[in-house]
Amino acid sequence: MAIIITDECINCGACEPECPNNAIYESGAEWSISDGTSVRGSFTLENGEITDVDTRHSALSNEVYYIVPDKCTECKGFHDEPQCAAVCPVDCCIPDIGRVETEEQLLAKKDKLHPNG
């Protein structure tokens, strides 16, 4: 499952540079698939929407840092544990129980985001 940041976040910014998929954004910041990935062209989001990888999408939170679920692989393919959760000083990076994904699905997501390895 993807990791989600709760409203306990204190906006310290420690997690953002640790994410291997650039899935973490500051509150209010627009996100795109191409940030920190090597995928080019169009990309099908989990909700079925097809987007250009460079399209800027609206922030998912205007209060605290947020994680783009389409880009979070729980760090699979890079690290043994979610790096955001490892560095968060208030333990507010938690599994999103509403978005359960298998290890295979997470590794496939990693390959989709980084087709060149």
Between 11 and 62, CB nearer to ligand SF4: 11
Binding to ligand SF4 by residue 74, rule CB under 6 A?
Answer: yes
What is the C-alpha separation between 57 and 34, in angstroms, rounded?
Answer: 11
Binding to ligand SF4 by residue 12, rule CB under 6 A?
Answer: yes
Q: Which run of H or of E encompasses 4?
A: strand 3-5
The correct pick among 30, 51, 65, 111 for binding ligand SF4 (CB under 6 A) is 65
Q: Which run of H or of E encompasses 44?
A: strand 42-44
Binding to ligand SF4 by residue 70, rule CB under 6 A?
Answer: no
Binding to ligand SF4 by residue 4, rule CB under 6 A?
Answer: no
What is the C-alpha separation between 112 and 60, in angstroms, rounded?
Answer: 22
Q: Is 58 helix (H, G, I), strand (E, B) or coil?
A: coil
Stretch near ligand SF4 under the rule CB under 6 A, chosen from 6-14, 35-43, 51-59, 97-105 = 6-14
Helices (H), 21-102: 83-87
Closest to 72 in 3D by CA, of 54, 41, 45, 92 = 45
Binding to ligand SF4 by residue 11, rule CB under 6 A?
Answer: yes
Interacting residue ranges for ligand SF4, rule: CB under 6 A = 3, 5, 9-15, 18-21, 23-24, 65, 67, 72-75, 82-84, 87-90, 92-93
